[in-house]
Homo-oligomer: A and B are copies of this chain.
Amino acid sequence: MIRKGRLFTPGPTQLLPTAQLAMAAATMHHRTAEFRALYTRVLADLKTFVGTKNDVVMFTASGTGAMESAVSNLTSPGDKVLVVTAGKFGERWEGLAKAYGCEVESIRAAYGHTVTPQQVREKLKPEHRVLYMQGTESSTGVRHDVEGMARVLRGSHTLLVVDAITGLGTTHFDVDGWGIDVIIGGSQKSVMIPPGLAYSAVSDHAWQRMETAKNPRYYFDLRKERKNGAKGESAYTPSTALVAALAAALDYVREQGGGDLADGRELLINNAETAAAMTRAAAKALGLKLFSVDSPGAALTAIAPPAGVDSSDIVKAFRNHFGAVIANGQGEMKGQLFRIAHLGYYDYLDTIAAIGALEQVLAEMGQRVELGAGLKAAQEVYAQSSEQVAVAR
């Protein structure tokens, strides 16, 4: 059969067609009133999307660029920092903090698990300048307890920095209420456009810290971007096409929320939650083990392959048979899990289609799979969730 190229990966994710069109049509110069108006609107919309009163800055970079800015702008060489790590992206915080000369103390959980606030409470010392963590760990699908960590940090001088690159749009964050000092998002995630833009919402505490932080920064200088952003500009040449795409995507989210962008974000989160619940139910019905049992997030579902099967073969079969791309495990986890994304532009039909393809792939690999069993379980979850919606109305 025809094989359409489809992304079920936790970034890049499926693109929003109206955003693709806006991207293709954008021809503006970035030092013009036209672009300033667009950029100003996008920064304001991102504040609403993130759900904060804090200023938002944007970089033309992938998410790691914004992560780097949260290290280089907030620390000085020799600073002690805490890192919550339970996967490849937690390890990225460790690598970044070390690259900038920080003394890193890690609070670690095994892949597939999460760190408890209690563990942080036990480790936290007044000299810890920053706690770095993920909202959701994209390499394992785990959702961390950001609210719990924030509670532990309350009253301390330790800044809370959350990589929410796959968390935003899939997880509820009360950024200002909990006191998240820096929260980071990326364009190729729940906002449904290609990679190339990263954004951060930064608290007053964090802006103050930058006054004394000594680490070098130039392109990723948050204060410079904030100053330019206030004029509707970026410090360096921005990816104008992606900014246009992002504006269109945020318009779509607002539309989904009946004209309210914050409501649209909540619907987007519920959408990912429903798709994730459908996928988890399907995996269980097929006798597959979820890679994350205690705290699975809605950004993606990580699933362990059947005993004796390398997940690389499942990923390969998905692509070869159906042109659909799912994600393998990263690093040492390669071969041991596969990941199906739910963040952003996925609907019921996509979710059913991915589960149907998974069953077919496993059956073709000779696994004992009852065709339709996972689908049925997913459909039942959907039926229940839509009944709840009907009742709520």
Interface residues of A (CB under 8 A from B): 1-4, 6, 21, 24, 256, 268, 270-271, 274-275, 321-324, 345-350, 352-354, 356-357, 359-360, 363-364, 370-373, 375-377, 379-380, 382-383, 386
Known: A322-B348, A323-B347. 7 other contacts (CB 8 A): A1-B274, A1-B382, A2-B346, A348-B353, A352-B356, A356-B379, A364-B386
A347 with B1: CB separation less than 8 A: yes
Q: How far is the CA of A268 from the CA of B2 in the complex (A)?
A: 8
Give every chain B residue within 8 A of A346 (Cβ-Cβ): 2
Which residue from B24, B274, B347, B359 sits with its C-beta under 8 Å from A3? B347
Which residue from B274, B275, B322 sits with its C-beta under 8 Å from A349? B322
B348 with A357: CB separation less than 8 A: yes
Give every chain B residue within 8 A of A359 (Cβ-Cβ): 379
Which residue from B21, B256, B275, B383 sits with its C-beta under 8 Å from A371? B383
Question: Which residue on B lies nearest to A369, using beta carbons?
Answer: B379
Q: Distance (Å) between the CB of A378 and the closest chain B CB?
A: 8
A349 with B6: CB separation less than 8 A: yes
- 3 smallest CB-CB distances across A and B, nearest first, come from A372-B376, A349-B353, A352-B356
A372 with B379: CB separation less than 8 A: yes
20 contacts between A and B (CB under 8 A): A1-B270, A1-B274, A2-B256, A2-B271, A24-B24, A348-B356, A349-B354, A350-B353, A352-B357, A352-B375, A356-B356, A356-B379, A359-B379, A360-B383, A364-B383, A371-B379, A371-B380, A371-B383, A372-B372, A372-B373
Give every chain B residue within 8 A of A354 (Cβ-Cβ): 349
Give every chain B residue within 8 A of A347 (Cβ-Cβ): 1-4, 322-323
A376 with B380: CB separation less than 8 A: no
Tell me the dominant secondary structure on chain A's binding face.
helix
Which residue from B21, B349, B363, B383 sits with its C-beta under 8 Å from A363? B383
Question: Which residue on B lies nearest to A372, using beta carbons?
Answer: B376
Give every chain B residue within 8 A of A364 (Cβ-Cβ): 383, 386
Query: Which residue, A6, A353, A380, has most C-beta atoms of chain B within 10 A?
Result: A353
Which residue from B2, B21, B345, B360 sits with its C-beta under 8 Å from A379? B360
A371 with B360: CB separation less than 8 A: no
Give every chain B residue within 8 A of A274 (Cβ-Cβ): 1
Q: Distance (Å) between the CB of A350 and the closest chain B CB?
A: 7
Question: Which residue on B lies nearest to A371, using beta carbons?
Answer: B379
Give every chain B residue within 8 A of A352 (Cβ-Cβ): 352-353, 356-357, 375
Give every chain B residue within 8 A of A375 (Cβ-Cβ): 352, 356, 371-372, 375-376
B345 with A349: CB separation less than 8 A: no
Q: How far is the CA of A370 from the CA of B383 in the complex (A)?
A: 13
Question: Which residue on B lies nearest to A387, using beta carbons?
Answer: B364
Q: Distance (Å) between the CB of A49 and the closest chain B CB?
A: 16
B353 with A382: CB separation less than 8 A: no
Give every chain B residue within 8 A of A268 (Cβ-Cβ): 2
Give every chain B residue within 8 A of A372 (Cβ-Cβ): 372-373, 375-377, 379
Question: Which residue on B lies nearest to A8, using beta carbons?
Answer: B349
Q: How far is the CA of A347 from the CA of B352 in the complex (A)?
A: 14
Give every chain B residue within 8 A of A256 (Cβ-Cβ): 2
